[in-house]
Chain A
C-alpha cells in the first residue's frame, strides 16, 4: 500500500509543483531561488523518507526501483538528443572545444581533489575510492541551465554573447563526464569478483546490436502519434531494463540511444516532443527520489558538502579561465566565465541517482548526502556569481 501512496504523492507533487514553480508564480527573490530551482522537492523527499514520515521507507523505495530506472532512461535519452551533429555545427568550433575543455578540467580537478582527500583521510578500499571520486567528479563536471533560463530579458539583452556561450557549454559539457561515469559500473561489487573485459564487451555489443536492430525496425516507418508514444515508452523501458540487467548504466545506454536517434532517425523531432513533454516533472521526481536518502545526521556532511561545493566552484573557475585565456579566439570572454556554470542540473542528479541505484550502501548514502548539500549551496550561490559575471561582462 505504501508503494502506491508513495508513488502517488511524489508524482502528484512533482507534477503540480512543476506548474507552480516553472509556469505562473512570481515570488520574492529568496523564495524564487528556493522554488525556481526545485530545491523544495529535495526537502519533500527528505520529509517523505525514513528520517521523518517514513512513507517512502526502504521497502517502498525498493518497489519503486523500476520507476527510477525508467526515469534515468528518459533523462539519458533526452541528454543524447542535445547532440544533434547538424545543430552543433551551426556554432563556432571553438565553442565545442571550450565545452569539452571546461568539462575535462572540472572533471579532472574534482577527481584528483576527491581522490586525494579520500587517500589522505580514509582507509576505504581502493576500488571504492575510485568509484566515489569518478562519480563525484562526473556529477560536478555537468552543468544545468536553470539559472540561465531564469535570467531576465534585459540581462540577456546586455550580454548575449556570453549567455550564448554559457548556454552552449552547459548543454553539452556532461559529454566527458557521463561516459567516464558509465565505466564505474565495471567496479560494481557483484561484477568485481567475476569481471572480465572480454565478457563484458561481448554482453555490451550483443545487447547494443539487438537494441539497434529493434530501433531500426520500429522507427523506419511513419507512425501515428499514439503509436509513436507507445514505441518510445516501450523502448525506453526496455533499454533501461536491459542496461540494469547487464549492469550497465541505464543513463549512459539511453544517452547513446538518444544520440543515435537524433542523428539517424527521421522521426527525431516527434520523438523529442514526446520526451521533452515530461522533462520538468522527471527532473523534480529525481530530486524527490534523491531527497529520500538524504541524511543530515552528522555536521560532517554539511561541512563536506560545503567543501565539495567549493572544490567544484574552483574547478569551474579554472575550466572557464583556461578556455578564455588559452584560446586567443575566446579572449574577449571574461576570465571568470566558469562562475556562470555553477548550476547543477538534471544530468548531475541523474548521475547521482544512477550511482545510488547501482551501488547501494552506507558510503553511497553519505556521498549522496554530501552532494545534495552541495546542490543546495550551489543553487543559492549560483545566482550571485552569475549576476556578478554578467555585470563584469558588460
Chain B
C-alpha cells in the first residue's frame, strides 16, 4: 500500500515539476536530473508493487521506463533519453563485468558439451525457421509487400541471424534476482554469453552474404574476417589484462571497490569507442574493440584466475540494484513502440516463430545430453529476451544496406519490444519450474 501511495505521490510531484517553465540551461540540467531520480524511484516502486503478481523486477523497470518514455507519457523526452545515454553505458559495462564474473571455469568445463550443443541447435533451428518464415510468408505482410524476392531473401538471412541474439544483461539480472544456481542456470548463462560473442561473427558472415545477394557482384571479403578475429582476440586479451589489474587493485588497495569497478567498466567502454574513432580518423583503419567482451573477459579473469573472485562479485552485487534499475528503465524508455505499432502482425509472428525455433533447439540439445525432461520442456523460456546487441546489429545493417536496412531495423525493434517484455517473465518462471531459484 505504501508503495502505491509513494508511486502516486511521485507521479503527481513529477507532473507538477514538469509543468514549470524552463528558462535557463541550469534549470534544464535540473530537469534531466529530476527525471533521472524520478525514473529510478518510480521503477523501484513499480517493481515492489508488481512483485505481488510474481512479475520479475526487471520487467517492472522496463514497464516503468515505457510508461515514462517518449511514446507513452512523454515524461522522458527523446533528448533526455539521449542525454542519459552516459548512465546507460556505465550500467551496461558494469553488468558485463558481472556477467564475466558469473562464469566459473569449473562449471563451464562440466557443462561445456551441453553449452556447445545448445548453441549449435538453437542457432540452426532459430535461423532456419525465421529465414524460412520470412522467405515464404514475408510477402503476406504489408511492410514487405513491395520488396523483391531477392530483397526478402536478404532480409530473411539478417532477421534469422538477429533472432539468434540474446540479452546477457537481462539473463544476469534475472539470475541475480532469483538467486538461481544449478546446471540449468549455468547452461543458460554459458549459452547466452558465448552466443553474444558468436553473434558478431555470424552477423558479419550474414552481412557479407547479403551484400553478395543484393549486388550480384560482391565477393567474400577475407580481410574483413581476419580483422574481425583480430578484434575479438584483442578484446579478450585486453579484458584479461584489465582483469589482472582489477585483482591487483583488490589485493593491494581494495578501497571503495564498487566505485572503482564501475569506473573501470565505464572506462573500458569509452576508451574502446575512442580508440575506434582515433584509428579511423588518423590511420584510416577500422578497428572496433568490443567493450562488452573486454568487460566480460575482465570479470571472467578475476573470477577464475585470481583469489579475489568472491570479493569482486560481492562488491559488484552491492551496487547492482541502482545499476539494474537505471539500465532497464532506460531500456524501456528507449523501446521503439512506433515500430511495433507499424508492423505488429509481422513482429508477433516472428516472436512466435523464434520461440518455436528456440524450443526445438533446446529440446533436441537437452534430449541428446540427457537433461531431465522438465528442463528440456522449459529451457526455451529462458532464451526469449533480446536487447542491445540485436538493436546494434540492426542499426549496423541499416547503415551498410540502406535498401533493406530500414525494414530490418523496424522489424527488429518491434520484435525486441515484445521479447524484452515477455522474456524476463518466462525466464523467471523457467527458473522456478526447474527448481533452481533461491538456491544461493
Contact = CB atoms under 8 A, between A and B. Distances in A.
A277 interface: yes
Contact of B33 (A1, A227, A241, A247): A241
Contacts of A210: 9, 12-13, 16
B13 A233 contact: no
Interface in A248-290: 250, 277-278, 281
B263 A245 contact: no
Name A's interface SS: helix
Given A15-B260, A66-B36, A217-B5, A233 B27 contact: no
A34 B428 CA distance: 54
A1 B41 CA distance: 29
B44 interface: yes
A4 interface: yes
A230 B44 CA distance: 8
Interface stretch (B193-201, B319-327, B378-386): B319-327
B2 interface: yes
B61 to A, nearest CB: 11
Name B's interface SS: helix
Contacts of A69: 29-30, 33
Interface string A204-217: 00100011011001
> Which bracket fits the contact residues of A?
35 or more
Interface string B24-50: 111101111111111011001000000
B25 A62 contact: yes
Contacts, number: 148
Interface stretch (B104-112, B205-213, B265-273): B265-273
B30 A240 contact: yes
A12 B270 CA distance: 13
Interface stretch (B156-164, B216-224, B251-259): B251-259
B229 interface: no
Given A210-B9, A213-B9, A245-B20, A230 B322 contact: yes
Nearest to B12: A210
Nearest to B36: A237
Given A4-B270, A221-B2, A226-B321, A242 B30 contact: yes
Interface in A342-386: 357-358, 360
B122 to A, nearest CB: 33
Contact of A66 (B13, B33, B41, B263): B33
A32 interface: no
A237 to B, nearest CB: 4
11 contacts: A19-B253, A62-B25, A190-B24, A214-B13, A217-B5, A226-B319, A234-B37, A234-B322, A235-B41, A238-B40, A358-B26
The 6 closest A-B pairs by CB, nearest first: A244-B30, A241-B34, A238-B37, A241-B33, A237-B37, A65-B29
